[in-house]
Amino acid sequence: MMPAGGAETRGQQIATLTRIARDLLLAPETEKVLEKAEKAIEGLPADAAERRMVQQTRHAIEHHRSVPASLIQERAALRTMAQSAWIEARSKSDFSIFAPHLQKTVELSRSYADCIGWTEHPYDAMVSIYEPGETASSLKALFSQLRRGLLPILDVARSRPQPRSDFLFRDYPEERQRAFGLDLAETLGYDFQRGRLDTTVHPFEVSFTRNDVRITTRYNRNHLPASIFGTAHETGHGLYEQGVDAAYTRTTLATDLVGLYAVGGTSFGAHESQSRLWENHIVRSRTFWRRHFPDLQRNFPEPLGDVSAEEFYRAVTRVEPGFIRVEADELTYDFHIMMRVEIECALMDGSLPVAELPGAWNAAVKRDLDLIVPNEAQGVLQDVHWSTGYIGSFPTYTIGNVMGAQVMEMLRRENSSLDAAIEAGEYAVLADELRTRIWRHGRRFMRDELLERETGRRLDIAPYLDYLESKYA
Amino acid sequence: MMPAGGAETRGQQIATLTRIARDLLLAPETEKVLEKAEKAIEGLPADAAERRMVQQTRHAIEHHRSVPASLIQERAALRTMAQSAWIEARSKSDFSIFAPHLQKTVELSRSYADCIGWTEHPYDAMVSIYEPGETASSLKALFSQLRRGLLPILDVARSRPQPRSDFLFRDYPEERQRAFGLDLAETLGYDFQRGRLDTTVHPFEVSFTRNDVRITTRYNRNHLPASIFGTAHETGHGLYEQGVDAAYTRTTLATDLVGLYAVGGTSFGAHESQSRLWENHIVRSRTFWRRHFPDLQRNFPEPLGDVSAEEFYRAVTRVEPGFIRVEADELTYDFHIMMRVEIECALMDGSLPVAELPGAWNAAVKRDLDLIVPNEAQGVLQDVHWSTGYIGSFPTYTIGNVMGAQVMEMLRRENSSLDAAIEAGEYAVLADELRTRIWRHGRRFMRDELLERETGRRLDIAPYLDYLESKYA
């Protein structure tokens, strides 16, 4: 909603607020209060909310004490430069324009990792910002299972003739897409009394408290799925935030004390699990379109007149390797992630020099997707992440896929009326389950702890592979 | 833009930020830096920007030191209660529901005034928050001149037959009004790269920096003037904020250090002078509608088909005393203000007990407007101000009227091509003058100092009375 001219000063305002938040966290008064609180929680159960608040505050203080303000400033300054270099590099499809900034990003990330501390691999420190508990080594193990599981499913899917998908690219007026999207979000349970759905170039979800959650989507007049599945995805994120226990509002259990911003989800991966669950397990399902395709057709009688619900479902689950991560189907998406994480690890430990990145990228795309990258804009320069100083966040997309399937499998197993409710379009049953088991806890439990409480297992890849196999093979 | 459910937590967030801002202002580190700055500015000219920054910070620190945090909390707590009581009281048209809260508001305002300090009248302390330099006594003198000047003009205006205004209440589709309003704001010079125009129940302007200014208006489908003149008014406020020197961004010269929020205008009255100038001197003028009525007619061919530019101008300058301040015409508006200020003074010095307020109100309306107040909702309960703990802001509306005319008179005198430019619809000439003389200075000069620099006189009522006389008598 901000006018374009406000971006620079808004950035300065956010930097000021973040610095003040950090200063308050590290102030002697906070230390005194915290020490008192540490005494007060003795005797409380290990998982008591109060105990967790205190422990998380202590952990955040240690984190921020370890990172000097000068490094934070250097990273912020770099970000501004790197982003405009990346924009130019991408528009000219010329990696060399971005390379020196990426080199600096890697160097500052290494310094940052050293400040935070790591034992096995510097990447471990970076991942801990987004997905506490994961490491280069745990991800390597996860990805090796995932790769082994995905390849045969992908083979089967690719051996079948492609369904038609021509109708997805017809003329879909934006206003109609918007009306359908608003209905969709509401149908899934998004509370518009405490949320909005707006339009942006890059879809996102952001929450200021559980009572003020904003989600956005984009509308492509000649490509219907972008807005539908984008809206479903962000609705999933929004539901998580709206579902956090009201008692945690404006406490550390709804705040990322390391990143210093309000968020109720317990990790990036846990957050992504909810968006992917609603996007893929619910909306990208045959059940959903059997029920709701007539609504969609009513909104778009012209372009969807000659299409059946089954044809629509098959078109939106079509599998086809491509160069672009954000356009990837469910079966190839994780390959995009795995190669990025592999590259990030190699950049962080120095085994891959920045200059050799384009070559490594293209080789990975050839190896995993059997495609020849046509240019750097559609290859190594496609994602914004590295230009913002983000190294270490990519794994959370795949973790979200895995966790979403694990939660869904558990719910289906434990609630025998869930499938019938979903078939009947009564999504409140699913939302209630997720609210009780996941959302309301906010950041009280770490991701694996939450999974163990609710599914009896830490992050487990089996349900995800089962889901993909039954859907795509 | 905020979803309705976010209001309460947003209020808490703002309270937190305000408290932190105050704490930072009163912190020993700030004192140290300020003392150093006070040495550094010695030798600078009296009106140097740096000197003013330092002096204003010192003044703000003294202000905030004088008001105990407990009193701020009491006022904030009262505000929440008083607002809901006022809403109920107004809907039931029953002053007695609101009276105990107003009693408390008066008491806390007296304590507040005592903290800030005053010599002649406790109201002086309250006015100093909004309009530094004005006092109960200076306002009394101003109002007595104003009343004496207004009465004969009002007599003449009321002796004439009323122009037709039936067409103002026809059917004006909101989307068309909005399109016209966006054009209008742009025509007057509002920069949409650094601003927005949105829709709210109560129009306002707010700026986060000069690069992010928001104005709003309301659309009444059966009353066209509300959106047109509302938009022109808020555009005037917005232009002031957008026109502050870029070098003052995020400095004390674009911050109200007493109220602790971003604002570039030097006082409430100075701000209102710019909104009233654009609303009344430019848009509510015969010159404007001679030029722009055809545009309006093109937007609304049906309801304005049988109307001439002159008829439209006469309708929107029709004079008719009424009960409601926000609906008042230019000639009677100030009477609404003067009676409120009179009442506020009497409440503050105790000469008017809260219980006698409705009687005093109705007597003033009879005396000034010769009207019998039909009920308390349309009388003493009509304004939100007192329910928010605001006492002392009403005078700034009339000060804005007076200052707007004074500035306009000076510009017309000093820039001989101004009127020709306005007639030609080239409002940039006026905007450039105002930017150079008023806007760019931000809060560097106090209102009267600014007026003296630019017009050679402190606040002076003569140009305002001249303007009203030539327009309405």
SS3 A213: strand
Residues of A in contact with B191 (CB under 8 A): 5
| Positions of B marked catalytic | 234
Minimal CA–CA distance to B59: which of B127, B144, B116? B116
* Average pLDDT value for residue range B378-400: 95
Is A234 in the active site?
yes
Q: How do strand A212-217 and strand A205-209 relate by DSSP bridges?
A: antiparallel
Q: Which residue in the set B3, B8, B192 is minimally distant from A192, CB to CB?
A: B3
- A209 to B9: CB separation less than 8 angstroms, yes or no: yes
Q: A25, A198, A209: best mutation site toward chain B, by most B Cβ within 10 Å?
A: A209
Residues of B in contact with A196 (CB under 8 A): 1, 3
Report the mean per-residue pLDDT for chain B.
Answer: 96
pLDDT digits (tens, 9 = 90+) for A354-376: 999 999 999 999 999 999 999 99
Residues of A in contact with B190 (CB under 8 A): none
- Whether the predicted pLDDT of B76 surpasses 90: no
- Whether the predicted pLDDT of B398 surpasses 90: yes
Nearest CA in chain A to B246: A9
- Whether the predicted pLDDT of B80 surpasses 90: no
pLDDT of residue B441: 98
Helix, strand, coil shares of chain A, percent, nearest 5, are 65, 5, 30
* Average pLDDT value for residue range B95-106: 97
- Distance, in Å, from the CA atom of B331 to the CA atom of B228, rounded to the nearest integer, reads 19
Percent of chain A scoring above 90 in pLDDT:
95
pLDDT digits (tens, 9 = 90+) for B121-160: 999 999 999 999 999 999 999 999 999 999 999 999 999 9
Residues of A in contact with B12 (CB under 8 A): 250
ipTM of the complex: 0.91
Q: Which residue in the set A3, A193, A249 is minimally distant from B196, CB to CB?
A: A3
- Whether the predicted pLDDT of A390 surpasses 90: no
* Average pLDDT value for residue range B393-407: 98
Ordered alpha helix ranges (H), B197-278: 224-242, 268-276
* Average pLDDT value for residue range B73-96: 92
pLDDT of residue A417: 97
Let me know the angle formed at the C-alpha of B410 by B405 and B416, rounded to the nearest 5 degrees.
120
pLDDT of residue A80: 83
Query: Which residues of chain A from 169 to 228 reach within 8 Å of chain B, CB to CB?
Result: 191-196, 208-209, 211-213
- B193 to A249: CB separation less than 8 angstroms, yes or no: no
pLDDT of residue B201: 84
pLDDT digits (tens, 9 = 90+) for B51-69: 999 999 999 999 999 999 8
- Whether the predicted pLDDT of A469 surpasses 90: yes
Minimal CA–CA distance to A217: which of A275, A147, A151, A130? A275
d(CA B255, nearest CA chain A) in Å: 13
HSE of B253, CA atoms in CB hemisphere, 13 A: 21
SS3 A206: strand
d(CA B12, nearest CA chain A) in Å: 9
Catalytic residue (choose from A131, A134, A205, A234): A234
* Average pLDDT value for residue range B298-310: 97
- Whether the predicted pLDDT of A26 surpasses 90: yes
- Distance, in Å, from the CA atom of B460 to the CA atom of A322, rounded to the nearest integer, reads 73
A151 contacts A369 by C-beta, under 8 angstroms? no
- A13 to B209: CB separation less than 8 angstroms, yes or no: yes
Percent of chain B scoring above 90 in pLDDT:
95
- Whether the predicted pLDDT of B389 surpasses 90: no
pLDDT of residue A108: 96
pLDDT of residue A252: 96
pLDDT of residue B312: 98
* Average pLDDT value for residue range B299-314: 97
pLDDT of residue B77: 87
pLDDT of residue B103: 97
pLDDT digits (tens, 9 = 90+) for A78-104: 988 899 999 999 999 999 999 999 999
Pull the structure tokens for residue A185: 């979000």
Q: B17, B196, B212, B261: best mutation site toward chain A, by most A Cβ within 10 Å?
A: B212
Residues of B in contact with A8 (CB under 8 A): 211
- Distance, in Å, from the CA atom of A206 to the CA atom of B7, rounded to the nearest integer, reads 17
| Confidence label for A77 from pLDDT (cuts 50, 70 and 90) | confident
- Distance, in Å, from the CA atom of A290 to the CA atom of A308, rounded to the nearest integer, reads 9
What φ, ψ does residue B302 adopt, rounded to 5°?
-70, -65
d(CA B179, nearest CA chain A) in Å: 18
- Distance, in Å, from the CA atom of A414 to the CA atom of B461, rounded to the nearest integer, reads 79
d(CA A425, nearest CA chain B) in Å: 26
* Average pLDDT value for residue range B81-92: 93
**Which of A383-392, A457-466, B248-257, B391-400 is least confident?**
A383-392
- Distance, in Å, from the CA atom of B254 to the CA atom of B246, rounded to the nearest integer, reads 10
| Spatial strand order in the sheet of B205-209 | B195-199, B212-217, B205-209
